[in-house]
Structure 1
Amino acid sequence: MTGQMCWIPRLGSNGTTVLHLRLDANKPWVPYYLMANFSIPDYTIPGGSKGWATYQKLFKAGWTLEPTPQPNFQDQQTPKAA
């Protein structure tokens, strides 16, 4: 079974990203470590990317890498002054 992968910034991490997975384009992204049947342990490299080992495994298995989703700016607009 193949799916999609995406690197999504971790909240409050100053740009650090974590690999997320999904099996269907209509489903939400899930952090790789919550999908134990697809993930493998991370490399023990200080400061290494979380999910890099899983990314390599799944890429070789035919999973596709999708662009990082953009935030929904409509929800973040400031109200106009009256």
Structure 2
Amino acid sequence: MSARFTETELSEHFAHCIQVLGGTTAASRRLGVDERAIRRFVTGEKPISERLLQDTATVLQALIEEASAAEARITAALGA
């Protein structure tokens, strides 16, 4: 996405990313960020830094790779 986020859009998109990562607890572990801080970022209480966005993108990419590997093993096991 080339356009910048508004603060509201950023909080909403970050909240979506947290759900994709498996919720607050899982995202907290993957990002190395306290759960309370995650909730504050989602609600807009705390500003979301560029570094946090970069870290979130990196963690999402790692999740994509893990999911792709898991899918490949299932597909291979099914002989498809």
TM category (shorter chain) comes to 0.3 to 0.5
Give TM-score, length-normalised by structure 1.
Answer: 0.33
Which is strand-richer, 1 or 2? 1
Which is helix-richer, 1 or 2? 2
